[in-house]
Structure 1
């Protein structure tokens, strides 16, 4: 009977005391990785959204350029298509629409600001591990054939 009590005590309270800090250690090991993944999702989602909006703005500008609108109208439509990108969209015409058969090319560029610090944390994993916009700029190009 005494051996039964002894084995019951060893499996009960004694084992619980040894495992008491295991959850805290596991959390301390996993939490930084989970936060890094979460911050990466937020920033890369924002960068992808910015890229999509810039692509739309470049297509819109190329369309209006191909239709023969003046630069003021093209500027207005490019800025309207990329209105939710902050602070501003820097863009320039690569070409103006020549005679029929040519192409109107619009290059759109916007400054991108990381908000979660993922770019600073990515240095721990080595250079080139994560794709980053070159010079914190995101660019897109729209090409459309001129109607002339």
Structure 2
């Protein structure tokens, strides 16, 4: 019988040890839960901030590409067979007479067309084209081709989703880009 009592004592002390270990693990789990509850808001805000900055970067790249394409479009005359004389280089004295050149509205439309799949639209009043349509065509002179530097500039107000990131960087964030091409007329 002595061996049974010893076994019972060791069994009882073993149970106490397990209870003690179990209560420690419960304490650690509660501590981990409290730490996680403190950290989750920071992690979520950090991830949303990264998402917002990624969106801003995407909008900037899309806007730059659209402005570049619109400037390239405006720098070329319509060599697409719209009139029979349009298949050759237009005469230097009047480049717009035989081959029409893209007007300011055509350039703005081209920019909007390039942005059509991106999910945002630039207000046409925020698109600036220099020199304007009248200057590009009428002031070429008789000495040769004009080859003006055509500059297209667009501005977009980007709004952040995350309020804290918007407060840190500035909300709305102004995205502005321009592109410069020499006209081919």
Q: TM-score, normalised by structure 2?
A: 0.62
Alignment match, 1:91: 127
Of the three residues 103, 121, 129, the one matched with 1:70 is 103
Deviation per residue, 1:39-68 (Å, 9 max, x gap): 112211211111111111111121122114
Alignment match, 2:94: none
Alignment match, 2:180: 143
Deviation at 1:10, TM superposition (A): 6.3
* Greater RCO, CA 8 A, separation 6+: 1
Q: TM-score, normalised by structure 1?
A: 0.75
Distance 1:71 1:87 in 2: 15
Q: Which runs of 5+ in 2 are unaligned?
A: 1-5, 77-100, 141-145
> Aligned ranges for residues 1-148 of structure 1 at < 5 Å?
5=13, 8-9=17-18, 11-67=20-76, 68-83=101-116, 84-86=119-121, 88=123, 90-96=126-132, 97=136, 99-100=146-147, 102-120=148-166, 122=168, 131=169, 136-148=173-185
Distance 1:69 1:93 in 2: 12
Q: Which moved more, 1:1-10 or 1:104-113?
A: 1-10
Q: Which runs of 5+ in 1 are unaligned?
A: 123-130
Count of aligned positions = 138
Q: Which has the larger radius of gyration?
A: 2
Distance 1:26 1:121 in 2: 27
